[in-house]
Amino acid sequence: MHRSRVGRNEERDGGMEGWEGRDNIISDEYVTICMSEMLGDGSALIIVDMQNDFMPGGSLPVPDADKIIPVINKYIEIFMAKGLPIIASRDWHPPNHISFRQRGGIWPVHCVRDTLGAKFHPDLKLPRSAIVISKATDPNREAYSAFDRTELADRLREKSIKRVFIAGVATDYCVKNTALDALEHGFEVILLEDAIKGLTNDTSPIEEMKAKGVKVIRLEHLIAVKNR
Ligand SMILES: [Zn+2]
């Protein structure tokens, strides 16, 4: 399958030289190279809470959250090309969730299950094969982490996943808690720094994750592998 895709790209793009400098297409050669260095069996992509309510215009907007969608889509393309699992978590609150201000919580009503605000952003190119993890579904319990009383750890273990790459929002809440829980569960954790956004620009959540053992990379770190 992979070989035939390379063939098609060579036809369409006139060879492998064509990939450099292109912003929105990742060639199969690029995918092959980055896989050999950094990704392999045992890796999975976790995309945290890329839902309408967390986007600009939503009820709990994370500034510029929509700007990372094209980057996340590139990571999705890479993981799909390798046949690696892609997980998408979502806040999936009941209408009377404890985190909402009406119940004394700190957040406006957001991501109420089965509403438009809870849907993934329409530009996010989630494959049909993506595993969707719903969290914070109990009216009386808050849950920032995608591992918090969900089946995520079991789903990863049954696929023999050892390393998770994490993207999404918000860096200071659900991304951070998901990353730290992944460490607790014994996974190697790689934060995709160009594919996350926080409620603030404070970098201390990233520093905290790094101090605890989370590795941080950007898309160009994968691209740079080509020139080694
Ligand atoms: Zn929430």
Clarify whether residues 34 and 46 are in a common domain: no
Clarify whether residues 105 and 67 are in a common domain: yes
Clarify whether residues 13 and 122 are in a common domain: no
Whole-prediction pTM value?
0.83
Clarify whether residues 196 and 115 are in a common domain: yes
For ligand 1, the distance from its centroid to the CA atom of residue 60, given in whole angstroms, is 9
Q: How confident is the model at residue 27 (pLDDT cuts 50, 70, 90)?
A: low
pLDDT at 132: 98
Domain of 5, in residue numbers: 1-38
Write the pLDDT tens digit of every residue in 141-181. 999 999 999 999 999 999 999 999 999 999 999 999 999 99
For ligand 1, the distance from its centroid to the CA atom of residue 132, given in whole angstroms, is 16
Clarify whether residues 117 and 147 are in a common domain: yes
For ligand 1, the distance from its centroid to the CA atom of residue 43, given in whole angstroms, is 27
Q: How confident is the model at residue 4 (pLDDT cuts 50, 70, 90)?
A: very low
CA 40: distance to chain centroid?
17
222 located within any domain: no
Is the N-terminal amide bond of 170 cis, ω within 30° of 0? yes
DSSP character string of 149-167: TSSHHHHHHHTT--EEEEE
Residue where the block lists tokens 């860096």:
171
Just list the catalytic residues.
49, 135, 174
Question: What's the whole-number mean pLDDT along residues 196-221?
Answer: 92
Cα separation, 174 vs 146, whole angstroms? 7
Number of domains in the chain: 2
